[in-house]
Amino acid sequence: MSTAPPRRPSIAGRLASQLLLISVLWALLAGLCVWLVVQEEVDELLDETLQASSQVLGQLLRQQAPMPSEVADGDDLSTHFAWQLVGPDGTLLHRSPLAPVKAWKLPPGFSDWVDDGSDGDDWRVHVRPLPTAAGPGWLMVAQTSAERKEVRTRVGLASAFSALLVGGLCMVWLNRRARRELAPLDQLTVALAQYDPFDSRQRLPEQQRRELVEIRAAVLELGQRLAQRVANERAFSAHAAHALRTPLAGMDAQLAMALREAPPEARGRLQRTREAADRLRRVVTALLTLFRTGMSLRWQRLDLSELLTLLPLPDGLALDVPEQAWVDADPDLLAAALINLLDNAWRHRATRLALRCHTLPDGGAMLELADNGEGVPDWQRVDLNDALERQQYEGRMGLGLMMADLVARAHGGDLRLPAADQGFLVAMRLGPAPD
């Protein structure tokens, strides 16, 4: 059962997240700093306003004729401002309607006063000397603490919101700028996905960023080393396969003559030796075919029944091939894979193998080879499927399944081993042919 690979965060995603976090923290910190600074400045501004109001009111009281001890409610339009004129002996001479009926007893300058009455208003009071008819008195001008708090809150919220808005705009701009700077990396990724180090005509596009220039140079160097190593291995394998074919053909001829001349009691051993040599010949043929193509596909429309007649089939293995079984594939690569799969079935004591072909919705094909051999235990089949999916061939499977899977992947497909009631079942999926 296949499992989805873990999702790894991208550089752009991580950078965007970091920018978002930094912008939010910066905006919150800036908003807090602005809030604290604005609170202090607003308090100073309100105190200066209160002091200026005290000066203006003092000048008016000096110029005004004797007034009643209290101003009528209709004459006072303010709901957050009050004043008192207190005589030298602390008696209340005049007051505004909102001012308490009890004289404030506060030192000169600014003071905070809490009303002990039922309304319990808090006041910010400014006290200044003012001569009266009875002698030196005191003018006390006050503003409610609620009004001051409301002003501070409005100004602070507006300033903090402005800081947050600036931080958000900076985050959006930085995010777009970062994505624009990472665009060449995405373009290089697309170019690398299409890059074939074995095609000398193909080149990676030049890069303008210094970091990407170094990555491109490293990839080109790695591709050249890989291409050279694969070319050397391919040449060695091709020469080795060619060198083995001639002696194997001679061995087969000598074993055939020995079978005719040998006594009956020795023919069984000679026959098994000839079968082993024949199997080695088929493996060499498959390897030679595979390395001759070099996994470079030459797509053709193939008739499977006709292709199978050209393959070296094991003795004693009967094939059931449907008529008009057509697929799009590379003939040499598909022949190499089928040779190995047929040899696998023969080695596991299969006497009959049925080949079925189905056309897939995407235009590809599914080849199923079912034999009546010994098969494998279910746990081993699961392990083989896992090895095929991960392409971990070494130590977990033989040459036949590995080569068939490589051929299927070269055609844009894969190899799987479904459960079978009897024998062994191989499903080779081939992708659609290019236009």
Q: pLDDT for 90-134, tens place per residue?
A: 788 878 777 777 888 888 888 777 766 545 568 788 888 887 766
Between β-strands 352-359 and 318-320, what pairing exists: parallel, antiparallel or unpaired? parallel
Amino acid at 42: V
CA separation for the pair 8, 182 (Å, rounded):
17
pLDDT of residue 238 exceeding 70: no
Position 80 scores a pLDDT of 73
Mean pLDDT of the 9-25 span: 70
Average the pLDDT over 299-313 and give the result: 84
Residue 203 predicted with pLDDT over 80: no
What are the tens digits of pLDDT across the range 51-99?
787 777 777 776 664 544 444 444 444 567 788 788 888 788 878 777 7
**pLDDT(24) > 50:** yes
Report how far residue 211's alpha carbon sits from residue 218's, in angstroms, rounded to the nearest whole number: 11
425 HSE (CA, 13 A, CB side): 12
- Whether the predicted pLDDT of 417 surpasses 90: yes
Sequence-distant (6+) residues with CB within 8 A of 26 are 167, 170
pLDDT of residue 292: 58
Q: Is the dihedral angle over the CA atoms 11, 12, 14, 19 positive or is it negative?
A: positive
Report the candidate in 289, 315, 281 with the shortest Cα–Cα distance to residue 403.
289
Of all residues in the chain, what percent carry a pLDDT higher than 70? Answer: 81
Global pTM exceeds 0.85:
no
Q: What is the mean pLDDT of the chain?
A: 78
Selection from 350, 230, 226 nearest residue 290 by Cα: 230
Query: What's the average model confidence in pLDDT over 151-155?
Result: 76
pLDDT at 316: 82
Average pLDDT over residues 398-412: 86
Number of CB atoms found within 10 A of residue 116's CB: 8
Mean pLDDT of 202-207: 79
What pLDDT is attached to residue 430? 92
Cα–Cα distance for residue pair 38/98, rounded to 1 Å? 29
